Structure 1
Amino acid sequence: MNFSFSEDQLQFQASVRNYFTNEVTPERIRELWQRDSGRCDQLWGELVELGLPAFCVPEAQGGMGLSPLDFVLIAQEAGYAGLPEPLVDTALVGVPLLAALDAAHTERRDGWLARVAAGEARLAVGEPGAALVADAHVADLLLLAHDDEVYAVPRADVQLVRNESVDPSRQLFHVDWTPSAQTRVASGEQGRALWAAARDRAALGSAAQLLGLAKRMVDLAVDYSFERKQFGKPVGSFQAVKHLMANVAVQIEFAKGPLYHAAYAVAEGQALAGVRVSHAKLACAEAALLAAKNAIQAHGAMGYTWEVDLHLFMKRAWALDKVWGDAAAHKARIRAALFGGAIQPGAGHTF
């Protein structure tokens, strides 16, 4: 059996990587920090031209009709580039949540999906139980939770209060809104199922971005260590520095399997998809946090300054580690599956 990605998937990933390399540069990210919104309509328009927000929109609504397995490589590249725009939240979390609404909301569902596919709307999704919503200020529609209910609320119907983030590229807002029958799109068992699926997709997207961030921080540290010299030699030639980066490289390789397995499980609707996602989030977060720690050490005192690009990606990793389930929550889910008998431990039953 072939467990690798298809040639089409890898080629699309390469084209997105090339675009991000040329257009989503550290200089452009710093420029966006100076704007009140922290976002760029031109950049979002370019993402629309590439078809990225429409990736998971069904073909009937003008999208590409692809799955989380197809999108996970794109989310990984978004992490590597430090993309500020809410691409992952819109395409991987919000779009499938809208698409899963029942026939009672067909007109509203299809209308918003068509607008997303056409580049006329962005989505923001509020993590159930969380106080803040990312990118609520540029979203045309907010998907919000109240108990087990799902609400689709236009931005005009909410009041926003900005909150500072450890990552200057993340725009976080407290959303003041009132639940109503007009904006409720799911409740009860259906609402619980929709939010459970949305949590898994969001955690999967965060994991993919964390893996990309880990790779970017290693690349930055390697480049810097060969530019900086001590005793007439690049510090990257010293064994101690090599070991720092090698340790991260091992973690990155070990995180790829759980990430891609989780993406497949989510795309196929497998029974243990949630556990796979938790495994992926833990593995990718561990790799990214170790990358941040070791990259700072490789940079020396310069690693703590705003002048170097490392902190753009390091702070994003710190932020994404805590969203859509922190380490404790994901470990608890894996522990419950192991001790509850859902997963058989040991060789031949690895997860």
Structure 2
Amino acid sequence: MRFAPSDEQRELEAVVRQVLTDRCPPQTVRAGAGSAQVAALAESLAGLGVAGLLVAEDDGGLGLDENHLVSVFAQIGYAAAPLPLTATLAVAPAVLAAGAPDLLAKLVDGSLTVGVDPAETGHVAFGSGVDLVLRGGFGGTGRIEILDVSDAAVSTSPSVDVALDLTGYAGARLVAAVDDPQVVRLAWERGVLATSAELIGLSRRLLDLTVEHVRTREQFGVPIGSFQAVKHQLATALLHLEFAVPVVATAGFELAAGLPGRLRALATAKALASEAAHVVGRAALQCHGAIGYTTEYDLHLFLKRSWALESSWGSAAWHRAALLDDLGVGLTGVRPAS
């Protein structure tokens, strides 16, 4: 198994990274839903054709696989892009191909934006202005409803991550319902994989911000990064991140190859990516001191996004329980609901 990205992956990653660097600085994340900055970011990404990443070439897409999904979403996480990209890039292609194939062309050209609510909470992340909502399919079971929300009544909900733009819809029109177990399973697996990769990117950004801070912040006439306690915290954080990275890459490889045991790799990837983000975020906050708590400082943009994603698409505890189930190990206590 080759963990290093292919040349094609590196090229795609570089192009996406450049667009996100240019179009998604922290000011764009702060601007949030409905802003000109976020609209420009969405237009730039549409111009790359990334919405068709997992759409077959016969349907106008790029025809790539989940290995590329990992590369792209690591960059999305690093920038904390405030768009419903997991839904649009990762989940929607398989669901629309099965339930509303006539909409694939609009998805590919960027004129169709999709939100997702797998746990049927009534809240859609980055939901302002989406055209469709994919509801259901948590855990890769049940059915996924394709809802047209263009004429639905809209409500908003508060979130610790203000850029998350949690939106609810009432009176949505049912376009189709997809209950093919293979499609529902694939949509769930891709959502889990994309979120895991995004957490890797967020963790890297948090670590980079912290390393830069401890190199320049001085106490007692020396950088605080020279203190043994700070070095130990950041070394522990890096260790968790570096353990998670190849596991997420493995999950992408196994999903792309369609290996029968991929559930174990995916569950492990999400559990380790969530745990890494938690450990890195805690170290970042600690090493920044009081400045890390302020909303004026950029750290909180990435920290709060990681908090939201740690529990999205199944928490670390949920995925560990799923892994034990798959291994045939009996569970004790109550299984996590999400």
Are the aligned partners of 1:48 and 1:54 in contact in 2 as well (CA < 8 Å)? Answer: no
Following TM superposition, by how much is the alpha carbon of 1:150 offset from its aligned partner in structure 2, in angstroms? 2.8
Structure 1: 5+ residue runs without aligned partners? 342-351
Q: CA–CA distance in 2 between the matches of 1:26 and 1:37?
A: 13
Cα distance, 1:3 vs structure 2:
4.0
1:42-65 deviations in Å (ceiling 9; x for gaps):
211100112211211211221101
1:161 aligned onto 2:162: no
1 CA distance for matches of 2:130 and 2:147?
A: 10
1:302 to 2:291 alignment: yes
- Given that 2:251 and 2:265 are in contact with CA atoms closer than 8 Å, whether structure 1 keeps it comes out as yes
Q: Residues 120-269 of structure 1 correspond to what in structure 2 (within 5 A)?
A: 120-145=111-136, 148-177=142-171, 183-187=175-179, 190=180, 192-269=181-258
Alpha-carbon shift at residue 75 of structure 1 (Å):
0.3
Q: Is the 8 A contact 1:167 1:315 kept in 2?
A: yes
Match of 1:274 among 263, 267, 289: 263
Q: Secondary structure at the match of 2:167?
A: strand
314, 324, 327: which one aligns with 2:313: 324
1:53 is matched by which residue type in structure 2?
Answer: A
Say whether residues 1:113 and 2:104 are aligned partners: yes
The amino acid that maps onto 1:214 is S
Q: What's the counterpart of residue 25 of structure 2?
A: 25
Distance 1:11 1:323 in 2: 29
Q: Deviations over 1:241-279 (max 9, x none)?
A: 111111111111100121011111222222222221110
Moved more, 275-284 or 2-11: 2-11
Give the letter aligned to residue 163 of structure 1: S
Percent of pairs with identical residues: 33
**Number of the residue aligned with 2:94:** 96
Helix, strand or coil at the partner of 1:29: helix
Q: 2:78 matched to which residue of 1?
A: 80
Give the conservation status (yes or no) of the 8 Å contact 2:3–2:250.
no
Distance in structure 2 (CA, Å) of the matches to 1:130 and 1:200: 19
How far the C-alpha of 1:14 sits from its partner, in A, is 2.0
The answer (yes or no) to whether the contact 1:134–1:170 under 8 Å persists in 2 is: yes
Q: Secondary structure at the match of 1:135?
A: coil
Q: Which moved more, 1:42-51 or 1:315-324?
A: 42-51
* Contact map agreement 1:149 1:184 (CA 8 A) in 2: no
Q: Distance in 1 between matches of 2:116 and 2:165?
A: 13
CA distance in 2, matches of 1:156, 1:37: 19
- Give the match for residue 333 of structure 2: none
Is this contact kept in 2: 1:115–1:121, CA < 8 A?
A: yes
Whether 1:6 aligns to 2:12 is: no
Amino acid at match of 2:236: N
Deviations 1:174-200 (A, max 9, x none): 2324675xx23323xx1x433322222
Partners of 1:209 and 1:316 in 2: how far apart? 10
User: Aligned-pair RMSD on alpha carbons?
Assistant: 2.1
Aligned residues: 327
Q: Which residue of 1 aligns with 2:334?
A: none
Q: Which residue of 2 aligns with 1:70?
A: 68
127-136 vs 316-325, which moves further = 127-136
Which 5+ residue runs of structure 2 have no aligned equivalent?
331-338
Equivalent position SS for 1:185: strand
Deviations 1:71-122 (A, max 9, x none): 11100110011111122220111122222x1xxx5xx41x211111112111
Aligned pair in 2 of structure 1 residues 168, 254: CA closer, same or farther (>3 Å)?
same
Task: Measure, in 2, the Cα distance between the counterparts of 1:94 and 1:23.
Answer: 24
Which of 282, 285, 288 is the equivalent residue of 2:274?
285
**Structure-1 separation of matches of 2:283 and 2:329:** 37
Q: State how 1:43-58 maps to structure 2 within 5 Å.
A: 43-58=41-56
Shift of 1:232: 0.7
Name the SS of the counterpart of 1:133 in structure 2: coil
TM (norm. structure 1) is 0.87
In 2, are the aligned partners of 1:217 and 1:292 still within 8 Å (CA)?
yes
